[in-house]
A and B are shown apart, each in its own frame.
Chain A
């Protein structure tokens, strides 16, 4: 805090600190206590947070992930079983064999 110059000058060139997480033990214990108090690391003074693939996969079988979030949107055929609420064609299809590849197919974007 003893640096000279206006706050703008001091803030301008600062890099976002980076913290890479490969294991839960690397997660700082004061993670959610950045000034301003949000859990997001984009708060001033917070660091961008990276997770590698293996850490993310380790979390996949946590008990918290066995059921959907209780307040997730209820969409028949997607987040809840197909019900009578909608007559719409199911989002999930019965598998058909793939159409044969056409070598002369021009790349057509269909979006």
Chain B
């Protein structure tokens, strides 16, 4: 009996030490957790929480000015929570030009300088307005369903999806966290598989740190 207890204790310790070693998933702020707990206890959990943001693009703004204009709508952590936001905000095709929706993993801000984004970049896809509602919805579902994660190299992940309404064609963006691994991703093939009828007028990738406006000094100070 005594021996049994000792064994149990030692394997528990072992288990705890293993847990400590493999706890490398991002931590949520307490505020985020309490918001999540509120209304989403009964839904089907997502792999990670995702946050809806809205912004209006104003040319020439600094990172700080942009951050002040950025509006966080809600952090969802369940499938039902996702739909309760999606079903109750204006659809993408009704937004005025220069507005964007973003869905970002955890509570990352849709900013190049966010500490989880700053080593990454994004694919930009120029999208005909007739296709935008479908493209946006499919990419949201692929993101929260983690259908895109198998397309990413080990160590890389999809950090967000965005859709920006512009005067002529709209712009869809897929954010990743490791620009150095973007070449190894097959995400564009996956998008074309998900949307076989859609032809994107242009597709390219850019690392955030290669933007002239990237504010190196701003990295790390964004999170409260």
Give the B-binding residues of A (Cβ under 8 A).
Answer: 1, 7-8, 10-11, 14, 21, 24, 27, 31-32, 35-36, 39-45, 48-53, 55-57, 59-60, 62, 64-73, 75, 77-79, 89-93, 98-99, 101-102, 105, 107, 109-111
Contact = CB atoms under 8 A, between A and B. Distances in A.
Interface of B: 11, 14-15, 17-19, 21-23, 25, 35, 38-40, 42-49, 54, 56-57, 59, 71-74, 76-77, 79-90, 94-97, 99, 124, 126, 129, 138, 141-142, 144-147, 149, 164, 166-168, 171, 173, 201-202
Given A56-B141, A99-B168, A44 B22 contact: yes
A7 B13 CA distance: 11
Contacts of A65: 80, 83-84, 86-87
A50 B45 contact: no
Nearest to B84: A65
Contacts of B46: 49, 51
Contacts of A107: 126, 201-202
A54 B207 CA distance: 33
A110 B43 CA distance: 38
B146 A49 contact: yes
Nearest to B49: A40
7 contacts: A10-B18, A35-B19, A44-B19, A50-B146, A53-B142, A64-B83, A67-B88
A48 B149 contact: yes
